[in-house]
Structure formats: C-alpha cells, structure tokens
Structure 1
Amino acid sequence: MKPLAQLDQLNLDAHTKQQVTGIVQALLDQAQQAIRVQELKIQALTMELAHLRRIQFGKKNESLSSQPNLFEESVLADIAAVHAEIEQIDVTVKTNAPKSPRVRAGRQPLPDHLPRIEHRHEPESCQCGQCGNKLVKIGEDVTEQLDVEPARFFVHRHIRPQYACKSCETITAEPVPPAIIDSGMAAPGLLAWVITSKYLNHLPLYRLEQIAAREQVTLSRSTLAEWVGRIGVALQPLTEQLKWHLLQGNTLHADETPVTQLEPGNGKTQRAYLWAYRSNDLDPGPRIVVFDYQISRSGQHARNFLQNWQGHLLVDDYGGYKALFSRAALSCTELACWAHARRKFFDLHQANGSSMAFEALQRIANLYAIEKESKHLNIELRQQLRAEKSLPVLDELHDWLRQTRMQTAHGGASAKALDYALKRWPSLVRYAHTGYLPIDNNPVENSIRPIAIGKKNWLFTGSQRAGQRAANIQTLLGTAQLNGLNPGAWLNDILTKLPTWPNSRIDELLPFAPEFIQSLKLKQ
C-alpha cells in the first residue's frame, strides 16, 4: 500500500492535494522514526542479551572452569527481563518478518510428595451452547501450579484434665513433658524455624521479628535471642559428638574464611575466622562438616582442633598448616589441591590470554575427566583407573611444567603459576596412587561458601561466644544437608526428643541418613 500514490486517484484540487500530501508525509516520517527508535532499542536489548548469555555460559564455553557462577540467579532474572522487554516492543512494531520460535526446556514434573488441593472447574451449563443437547464427559485437562504459604503461625493448646480421688483426695493429671525451654511459649517447630532462618537462610533476628509482626504475632528480638542462646547450649553435645566422628576418618579437608567480630563496649570490630573441617566423600560412612570459630588465623587453632589425629589433610598453601606436616609432628600427611593449582593458570589466562596457561588448563582438565569417569567406582577400581590413566597424564604434565619453567623468566606471573605446581608436586600427585584420596579441596569450599555469602546479611558476629554458637549450629545444619536431610525437619524432631533422650544413645540423634544411624546402632 502506497498512500501518496493513491492520492493521485482522488479528485482533489492542487492546493488540497498538497496539504494532504504534506500531512501524510509527516505521518509517514513520524512512523518511520518511531519504528527506527524501536529497532535501535531491540538492537540494544539484543546486545545486552548476548552479553548476559556470555556471563551465563562463558565459563563453560571459554574458560574451562567448572566453578558455579555465584550471581547466576541475577543473570537469569536479567535475561528473562530482556526477553520480556523485546516481546513488548514486538507487539507495537508491525513487521512481516517471521519470528523464530523460542526454544523452551521441558518443565520438570512437580514432586509427588507434595499435597494436592484439587479445584474442579465445571462448565456453567451441562447443555451444549450450540445445539442445546446434553454434554457427555470425554476426558479431563489437568494442569498443576506450585504454590507456597508464608510462615504460618498457629497455637498448640495442651489441655490436661485433673482428676481427684474422693477417698484419699489424691489429684491425678498428665505431667508436662520436659522441653528445651521449660515453661516457654515456643513449640519445637517455632524454635527450629528461628534457628534455620538465622543460620541457614542468614536472616537477622530483627527480620524474623518483622515477619512475625506481619502475621500480628509479637516476637521481640530479646525473646528470639534468648531462644537462640538456649538452643545453642542444648545442641552442644551433638556438635561434640559430630567432631568425634569426623576425627575417626583418615582423610580430612580443611579451610578457613574470615568473619568480622564486634568488640562489645567500644563499637569497634576485629577479624576472626571460621575454620571448616570436612570428611572425605570417597570414604564410606556419613558426610560430616565441622566448623570451628576462632579469633585469629593462627595455625595453632588447627593443631588444637586435630590434636593427635593422624591421616591425610587436604589444604591450600596457607602457612598455618605447615607445622602439621613437619618432621617433628609426624601426624599428618599433606595433600595439595589441584583446584588451587589450576586457579593460578586460570587467572593468568584471564589476565593476558596466555597460551601456556591455556595448555596447562587443558592438561589439568584431563585429570578431572578421569575423576569424573571414576565417580561411581569403588576404591579398588578407582585406584586401578588412576594407575592406568591419571599417573601417565601426571608424568607428562610434570615434564611439561619443568621444561616450560626453564624457558620462563623469573618473577613474573607465569613463573609463579609454574612454581606453585612444581613446589607442591609430591602433595599434588599423592591422590593418584590411591583410590580413596580426593583430587581437590572443593568439598570443604562448597560447604563454607554459603556462610561466606551469608555474611552480607549479618555483617558481623556480636561476640566470640556468638561466633562459637554459630559454628556449632552451622555444623549440625551443614551436616544434615550433606546427608540429604531437611535441616528444619531434622531440627524440629531433635528439639522434641532431646530433653528426655539418654546420652548413651546420642548417636541416634545425629544428622545422618537413616542407614548410617542403623549401622551405628549395630556397632553399639
């Protein structure tokens, strides 16, 4: 359709035709300008979308990294927002260009264990709207939507009738069972919610106070703080028992992360450290993580925690651990972390696109490919696979590292990355001579990472005691998660049982999977 060409077919005088032509041309110019603006906006959004996709997938496609993106949820939300903006513009831009269909991944079925609330939507009439005949049911169209209720507060009302004997005037009533907090108004479920919200979801107590207030429930911060303190003391025996079980293993991961501690009275802060010790996933038995809060990074804290423990300890290159591996100690055998060695080359490649670093990354990737292949093997088969595949790769890698180092100038970033691997080589290759030692320290870093991220919410610990209490509770909740348990449900059950539970059976309360609890019973 050409509006200006059609004007010639109209019976208009020259002056009127000129005016109409000017108006139509102005409208066309205005429409073209609007379309151009929208096209430019689509181009900008498309470029932004490409950038976000590079952020989302760049590590997998370009940098050979297997580490998760800590901001992935923000990137995914931004991608969805850009798609939505483009779709809004497409509605107003009239174009004949065909749109390519968007590829969507199939939606995962909703879990079977969730309760279903059925809503039946029957037609307003059982008669056909066209001919008036009676309708016959031929099937059903069923769709499901996932929903959630915010924290729902309710009251347990315990009624204990009192009965009296007319003969001897004895009064009988069901006794009040012992509780974690005697005569307290909080049921175990509420206490578990407070603890998991604070230490697992990293919500400060004032936010829990606000959540309760929105439901017209008064929970003062002082009351919440009192509950937290009392529960921390009650759970202390479980933490000590978990530490005992952890030290029965012959291989441990260790790492530490800084936290800020408030110095009461003067408003200043100091740096403290949360030390983490993790069991070896390649060993049989339950998975355990134990956190230890200390006011410094001194290696003496690690020695105090481990005491007379003997075995393989997998750590980074922090000097605080060195005393554990000295000839005088004769207790721990050092395992070095391939993820840390790899990180040196990764940073170098990211900084200047070093071809040497890229080749190192590819060679190290071969080691991880072998580990992925052995993931579901038992210890004997894994040791055999490592002997056949990992050791030859390591020998070639060592020769390449030495030759490359001789050709590299001293003092630069390349030399430092090469020296890191070469100086720690005996500790780096030790895992490959067995079928039960881990290749890197990622398990303990994964356990400590949620706490490190959560620091953005709680900023600092209020005191050394508060830090120690947090470490104890994080130990229990973290171990529950490692063993596939719902931490809140587990804690609810424990807080109900603990007041009357015999100390001789404390192992049965630990956050292990049921099969591990059963094995502990058999050993007793």
Structure 2
Amino acid sequence: MPFDMNSLLDDVEELKRIIIFEKNKILEYQEQLQLQRQKEVEYREELRLQKLKETEHLEQIERLKIQLFGRKTEKWSQIEKDQGLLFNEIESSLREDSPEPEEKSLFTPVKSHTRKKPGRKPFPEYLPRIEILHDISESEKTCACGHTLSRIGEEKSEKLDIIPAKIQVEVHICPKYACKHCEGTSGETVPVVRIAPVPNQIAEKSMLSSGFLAYTLTQKFADALPFYRQVGILQRSGVDISRSTFQYCDSSF
C-alpha cells in the first residue's frame, strides 16, 4: 500500500504532542521491562538459595542415615585406603623394632572368681522408713488343731515413695502495743506505738517466702524447669500466681 503524504499532520504542536506521548510510552515500557528483569533476577536468586537449602538438607539427612545405619557399602574410598596403608606401615615398623616374644604355653593360669548376681541398689539409710503392716485376720491365726499360730518370721520389701510438695500460706502477725494509761503523753523518746519489725525479705514486697523462692529457683536452674511450667503446676493445685511474679523475684537477686 503506497504511503499517502497528504495524511501527515501539518500542525507542529500536534506533532510534538504525539512525539512526547510516544516517548513516554517507550519510557514506561522500558521501566516495566527493567522491573520484569529485576523480578527474574530475584526469582533466580531465590531459586538458587532454595536449591542450596535442599542440598544442605539432603546432605544432613545422609549424615544422619550414616550415623544411624552405618555406611551403605563396605567399600573404602581411596583416601581411606591410603590411610589404612599408612597404619599398616606403622604397625609393621613397630613389629620390626620390637623383639619377638618368647614362645609360651597356650594356657595362662587365671585366678578363679565368683560372679556377682546383679541386684537392686539399696535405698540410702538416711531416708526415713514408714512400716506398713499387712497382717492376716485374727480368725486365720488359729490353727485347725485349735492352737494359736506363732509368728516365726516375716517377709520385708522396701518401696520408694515420694510426698508431693506441700503448699501452705505463712501469715505474719506483728502485734502493736501502746499505753492506754498515758496514751504517749509521758514524754518518752521511744515510739508511742511499738511493733516488732518484719524480717528481711529476699525480694522486697514479694508475696513469696524465702523457702518458696529457694524451691522455685532450684527447680529452674538445677532441674531446668522454667517458670511457666511451675505456674502450671501451681494452678493444678488451685494456686494462681502470674509468671511476672516469678520473674520479679528472679531479677531481685
């Protein structure tokens, strides 16, 4: 189709507007193309990192399999073979340097010994013992001949028992004293109202006693029992103490 020269615009301003519009479209397209390329680069980098993680996971799984089940094959690598040859050379050199031992009898006398049978380890003697008697009824203590049975011995077995922690509330009472006769008008320098001082506390203004704090801190640092687990244990006993109370006492040390 031949180009029609009459179809061209004669208005210069209109031509400028068209050129600027087309140029803006080209710039916009270039920006979109640049963004698309940047996204492709980011996607490729993300894909590379993902493959790297998968490779690391596979290697870790393979190492765990080797630790659990051993090697899949008994074949050694070349390095391991060389290391084995090195140990063989050292062993052979030691055999050459050391004198040959004299021939001895094939039988070596060994002292006789008695093998101990494995048994339970006894409980410590310092633990208190509570005896629980399991006796037969009085009617069973009478023989068929009519005579009373005599106690000829007993069977004794020990079982370890534990008493759960006992929770109690200490009520500290400080009586106040004052003179009702003079009501403090005698001019004494001592206070009008006398009261015994409260014992010093490990954590100031704490609602927990020193023994309770020692118990909880021992559980946390010696038994690795965190505060939130101790809060749950107390809640099962009907005592509701927030974790912040434990943390405040812990920070007071």
Report the TM-score when normalising by structure 1. Answer: 0.23
Q: Which entry has the higher C-alpha Rg, 1 or 2?
A: 2
Q: Which has the higher helix share?
A: 1
Q: Which structure would you say has the larger RCO, counting Cα contacts within 8 Å and 6 or more residues apart?
A: 1
TM-score normalized by structure 2?
0.45
More strand by share: 1
